[in-house]
Amino acid sequence: MREFPEPTDILLSNKAVCRDSSLILSKFSMISLVTDSLLYIYDPWNNYCFTIYNLTNAHYARLGTIGQGPREIYNPGSKVSLINIDGTTYVSIFDNSTNRFQLYDVSDFSPYTTDRSLDILPNITVSEAFLVSDSIAVAEGDFEDNVFAIVRNGRLSTPFWSSLSNKGEKSIYRLINDANIFALSPGHDKIVRATQFGGLIEACSIKDSSVSPLFRHEYFPNDYDSQVGETGKTRYGYLSVTCNDEKIYGLYDGELAKRDKPFGSNLIHVYDWEGRLLEVLFTDTRISSIGITPNGKQLYAIEADTNDLIYFNHGN
C-alpha cells in the first residue's frame, strides 16, 4: 500500500448557516456543486430527492418530489448535472425506475418546476447516470466486462472502465463490490471515478461518444465481498470525490473497514487531470462527503459526527 506525503495544508471548518430554518441532513447525504452559487444535497429521505442550498443568500429549497405520479421521481440517482436546451438551463435528475431524466428549470431558485423529461437511455439496466448533453449520457451498469458506458441517442456506444470484481459475478454484486463514486467536470468533458473499496482513482476525457483515458491509480486491492461484507482485509479507499475543470478532490480513508469504524475521514487528496498528486489536505473535523465550487475557492462537506453542512476556504 502506497505511503502518501504528509498533509501540506490544514483546512479550518466553517458552519454553513441557513436562514430559512435548521438544515437537517443525514449521514447518507451527498453533495455536489454545479455552479459557484448553488449546492445540491442528495438526501431522498424527506419526500424530496434533493435539497438545494443557495450559497449567495443562505436560503434552501427542495427539489424532486418522491413518488410515481406525474413529474415525480420514484428512485432518484445521486448525481445532478446542468444542461442547456434551447437557451434554458436545466438541472437533470435520473430516475432509474423509468430510465428517464427529469429536467428542472433553474432560472428561478424557488419554486422549481419541470415541464420536460428526456428518454435517451435504451432499455438496459442502469444503476446511475447523468447527462453530458441533451443526447449523450454517462451510465453505470453491467456492460460485459465494463461498469460504465457512454449512451448516445438511445444507443449504447462506448463501454469503459472495467469492474474490479471477479469475472462471472452477477452484475449487482460487481457494482456493490466496486462501490463506485464518480463526478463530472463542470465543462462536461472529463469524468473521475473512485472506489470506496479497493483504493482506485482514475479519470478520462469525453468527447461526443469517444472516451480517452487520462490516468489510473490503484493503491491496494479490493477485498470486499458483497454477500459476506468486510473480510478482515477490506480497506476503505475514497469515500467521496468531486472536481472542477482544473483539479480532482478525493476524500481518502485508507484504513481497515471494521464494523464499528465510523464513516468519515480528514484527508483529501488533490490531483490534476493528468493524475499528479498536487497536495494532501487535512481537515479539522471528520467529513463524509465533499463538493468543490467550480471556481475552486470553497470546499463544502458534510460533517461526519453531526451531519452539519460545513465549508472550508481553499484558494486555487
Could you write out the three-class secondary structure of 92-147?
Answer: EEEECCCCEEEEEECCCCCCCEEEEEECCCCCCCEEEEEECCCCEEEEEEEECCEE
Indicate whether 230 pLDDT > 60. no
Categorize the per-residue pLDDT at 231 as very low, low, confident or very high, splitting at 50, 70 and 90: low
Categorize the per-residue pLDDT at 112 as very low, low, confident or very high, splitting at 50, 70 and 90: low
- Put simply, whether the predicted model's pTM sits higher than 0.75 gets the answer yes
pLDDT at 167: 47
Average pLDDT of the segment spanning 89-103? 86
Q: What average pLDDT is seen over the chain?
A: 81
pLDDT at 108: 60
Give the residue, 178 or 196, on which the prediction is more confident.
196
Least trusted range by pLDDT, from 117-131, 199-213, 263-277: 117-131
Average pLDDT of the segment spanning 302-308? 89
In the chain, the domains with their CATH numbers are: 9-313 (2.120.10.30)
Distance from C-alpha of 312 to C-alpha of 287, rounded to nearest angstrom: 11
Distance from C-alpha of 166 to C-alpha of 95, rounded to nearest angstrom: 28
pLDDT at 181: 85
Average pLDDT of the segment spanning 145-154? 83
Least trusted range by pLDDT, from 39-48, 205-214, 269-278: 39-48
